[in-house]
Copies of this chain bind each other. A is one copy, B any other.
Amino acid sequence: MRDAYHEELDSIGDSLVEMARLVGSAIGRATTAMLDADLQLAENVIAADEKVDTLQRELETKAINLLARQQPVATDLRIVVTSLRMSADLERSGDLAQHVAKVARLRYPDSAVPRDLHATILEMGQLAQRLMAKTAEILITKDVDLALQLEQDDDAIDLLHRTLFQHLMDDRWKHGIETAVDVTLLGRYYERFADHAVSVARRIVYLVTGDYADEVDPAAAAGGVAEGITEGTQPENA
């Protein structure tokens, strides 16, 4: 009985790693699809999100069965409950990658992103993908130090996000409203994606260290986002 139990617990962990792998790949592909205006790649990302959703549903069923049949307590109970939360973060990251791909599809055969912002968006996409790759690694290794590093990567994304907004607010912006709207939403998608990766990492830190102070609810992370953006555009009002 005890063996089947640990197998089930491992299987939940494996699903989380696989979800992180899939959504990390998705955000990278979505970014490429957008910058290259590659319709097929965009469609590919959009369709592939189904797999992430399926994994989440399966994970949820496994977790509930495990709670019902094995009735874990203490640490194991926290692992199961936290896994449910992490799977929701990862599933939502998948949606955000899909949103990026949908913007790419919508603007095809054009690129949704003007040339002078390609490098910024590329860097956001790369950072987001790297954050998620590290999150997958942390899910496997439970490496707390690596989890803390993630915060710096997240700061780097916030900074890029602010750059993007300064660009938008610049009087010399010449790409019109439609592109401004696209870029506003894209910036938000990348930053929310990163928030979810960081949220997963923080939950692992909490599981490992049991330190509540390190566990930041997604609320706090998200609050920083919108605040960061808008205040970045008018520092005197910050």
Name A residues whose Cβ lies closer than 8 Å to a Cβ of B.
Answer: 49, 53, 56-57, 63-64, 67-68, 71, 73-74, 77-78, 81, 84-85, 88, 91-92, 94-95, 98-99, 102-103, 105-108, 165, 168-169, 173, 177-178, 180-182, 184-185, 188-189, 217-220, 222-223, 226-227, 229-231, 233-234, 237
Establish whether residues B74 and A217, one from each chain, have CB atoms under 8 Å apart when the complex forms: no
- Chain B residues with Cβ under 8 A from A189's Cβ? 226
Establish whether residues B188 and A177, one from each chain, have CB atoms under 8 Å apart when the complex forms: no
Establish whether residues B68 and A73, one from each chain, have CB atoms under 8 Å apart when the complex forms: yes
A219 to chain B, nearest CB (A): 5
Inter-chain CA distance A165–B218, complex, in Å, is 28
Establish whether residues A185 and B184, one from each chain, have CB atoms under 8 Å apart when the complex forms: yes
Inter-chain CA distance A81–B74, complex, in Å, is 16
- Chain B residues with Cβ under 8 A from A106's Cβ? 230-231, 234, 237
Inter-chain CA distance A219–B55, complex, in Å, is 13
- Chain B residues with Cβ under 8 A from A88's Cβ? 85, 88, 218
Establish whether residues A103 and B230, one from each chain, have CB atoms under 8 Å apart when the complex forms: yes
Establish whether residues B98 and A223, one from each chain, have CB atoms under 8 Å apart when the complex forms: yes
The 5 closest A-B pairs by CB, nearest first: A99-B226, A71-B71, A184-B184, A106-B230, A68-B73
Q: Closest residue of chain B to A170, judged by CB?
A: B177
Inter-chain CA distance A230–B103, complex, in Å, is 7
Also in contact, A226 and B102, with CB within 8 A (given A178-B169, A188-B188): yes
Q: Closest residue of chain B to A60, judged by CB?
A: B81
In-complex Cβ contact of A173 among B169, B177, B234 (8 A):
B177
- Chain B residues with Cβ under 8 A from A165's Cβ? 181
Q: Closest residue of chain B to A165, judged by CB?
A: B181
Inter-chain CA distance A232–B64, complex, in Å, is 39
Q: Closest residue of chain B to A108, judged by CB?
A: B237
- Chain B residues with Cβ under 8 A from A226's Cβ? 99, 102-103, 185, 189
A223 to chain B, nearest CB (A): 6
A214 to chain B, nearest CB (A): 14
Establish whether residues A91 and B181, one from each chain, have CB atoms under 8 Å apart when the complex forms: no
Establish whether residues A81 and B53, one from each chain, have CB atoms under 8 Å apart when the complex forms: no
